[in-house]
Amino acid sequence: MTANPFDTVLVANRGEIALRAVNVCRNLHLKTVAVYSAADEGAAHAAAADRSVCIGPPPASSSYLSVPSLLHVASSTGCGAVYPGYGFLSENAGFARQCAENGLKFVGPAAETIDDMGDKARARETAKRLGVPVVPGSDGAFTDAGKARQAADAVGWPLLVKARAGGGGRGMRVVNSAAEFTKAFGQATREAEAAFSDGALYLERFFPRIRHIEVQVLGDGKGGAVAFDERDCSVQRRHQKLVEESPSPAVNTDLRERIKDAALALARGIEYEGAGTVEFILDPNADAFYFIEMNTRIQVEHPVTEMRAGVDLVEAQFRIAAGGDLAAFEPARPQNGHAIEFRINAEDWLRGFAPSPGTVHRWAPPRGDGIRVDTAIEAGRKIPPFYDSMIAKLVVHGADRADAVRRAREALSSFECEGVATTIGFHRWLLDQDDFVNNRIHTRWIEEAVARNVFPGQSS
């Protein structure tokens, strides 16, 4: 990279995304400083970096979420930029703001953008102003159940109460009738307050059978943006994504262009900088889609886009942060084939997806054409109980969806992990389900499979 405003990057994360960032920086001739908690001593990302610093004890609140510690390490090691990855502080506007105040380039959007898009009610209003269709819902967020109840009838039943801040299904409840509203509102606002220190909720019409569709965008921070083909993230459990694929088998060419145009209108309208994802719900029966939120960071599932478009999105983040041109990342038309990502979590899927920390005794991921495994795991590695349970991402690419499913079956059949329970078995089961193979899934499909006794695991 020439004329780069920074030459050393603090990688403020852990696991596979931190290792990925270190490797990309090396290819770009950037130096890296990794941080690790006491629980991650000897971790792959720390070993791969030019320098590594212990950031604190195992709990994330005392290590990876400690803004003063991160800023101190960045300053004392001569870093000019901070890479947040996903999770932890990646969508923390206060952290982005403090980076800027300390002369550090935050590799991502401006703090104001994170603020605006992180407030779901404000994001919704911005989308409406820019002509992006939004889910019918309340005009603002509520902390008072009585006032929210007055607005509920206009939204219609069933509806969702959703936390204004945060995500991941926390602070969210489906409310089927007015009789359930007050209790559900109270539960959701308490959960939102505990998770995000913000108990405000907004109301949104609930669609029982929808697809979750998202569009990867890159913006230059000046009103320029590019959009990639959509990803379908409809295989979920309790609002947590398990499988993602691109393109969506529920989206035709005309609908694809309309969804991408809507994502571009938002990214350009807010002068977005870096990698972000505009998320929609799709009602396949009505051929209608609605904006739900924007994630102002790289997504876990970004590799399915990379596999089809031939673009390194993490590299794009660094080049854009250094003032690079978007033209180099304009996706080819058409994008190539079909890609599916399977999240491999250290969880016992037969026992309610219970976390399964421990030591990996054997680790033998699949290899071959069209197969990619993003991970920082190897045999002998300890998986601590303090962080997210995802330990790898298996991504397969085929000529079309049927070919990708075939390759995925082969890859999963040879994927070996011993010492901890994983979701490898869940994905093998999923690929044997006619509903998945024949594209009859939706965001509540797993819950319905449990109710029909089709799912072999426990429900909780």
Written as six digits, the tokens of 458 are: 């426990």
Residue 358: C-alpha distances to residues 38, 249, 420 (Å): 16, 37, 6
Known catalytic membership, residue 351? no
Asked if the 8-107 domain carries CATH number 3.40.50.20, the reply is yes
Closest CA to 86 of 311, 230, 276: 276
Catalytic residue among 124, 297, 343, 372: 297
The reply to whether CATH 3.30.470.20 applies to domain 211-451 is: yes
Q: Per-residue pLDDT for the chain (460 aa), expressed as one digit of tens each? A: 445 789 999 999 999 999 999 999 999 999 999 999 999 999 999 999 999 999 999 999 999 999 999 999 999 999 999 999 999 999 999 999 999 999 999 999 999 999 999 988 899 899 999 999 998 888 889 999 999 999 999 999 999 999 988 666 789 999 999 999 999 999 999 999 998 889 999 899 998 889 999 999 999 999 999 999 999 999 999 889 999 999 999 999 999 999 999 999 999 999 999 999 999 999 998 889 999 999 999 999 999 999 999 999 999 999 999 999 999 898 877 899 999 999 999 999 999 999 999 999 999 999 999 999 999 999 999 999 999 999 999 999 999 999 999 999 999 999 999 999 999 999 999 999 999 999 999 999 999 998 888 888 765 5
Residue type, 361: H
The pLDDT assigned to 3 comes to 55
Whole-number Å distance between alpha carbons of 314 and 323: 15
**End-to-end CA, the chain:** 49
What pLDDT score does 451 carry? Answer: 85
DSSP state of 458: -
Q: Indicate the domain borders of the chain.
A: 8-107, 136-205, 211-451
Exposed, middle or buried: residue 234 (CB in 10 Å: 0-12, 13-18, 19+)?
buried
Amino acid in position 182: T
Residue 1: the pLDDT is: 45
Equal fold, 136-205 vs 211-451: no
Number of C-beta neighbours around residue 100 at 10 A: 14
Positive or negative, the CA dihedral 392, 383, 107, 322 is negative
Task: Name the DSSP class of 299.
Answer: -
Q: How far apart are CA 222 and CA 216, in angstroms?
A: 18
Q: How many CA atoms lie within 13 A of 100 on its CB side?
A: 13
Stated pTM of the model: 0.91
**pLDDT of amino acid 459:** 58
Tell me, what's the pLDDT at 276?
A: 98
Rounded Cα–Cα distance for residues 279 and 81 (Å): 28
Superfamily for 136-205?
ATP-grasp fold, A domain (3.30.1490.20)
Nearest Cα to 125, choosing from 115, 107, 139? Answer: 139
What is the reported pLDDT for 285?
Answer: 85
- How far is the CA of 68 from the CAs of 32, 49, 62, 93, 235, in angstroms? 19, 21, 10, 15, 38
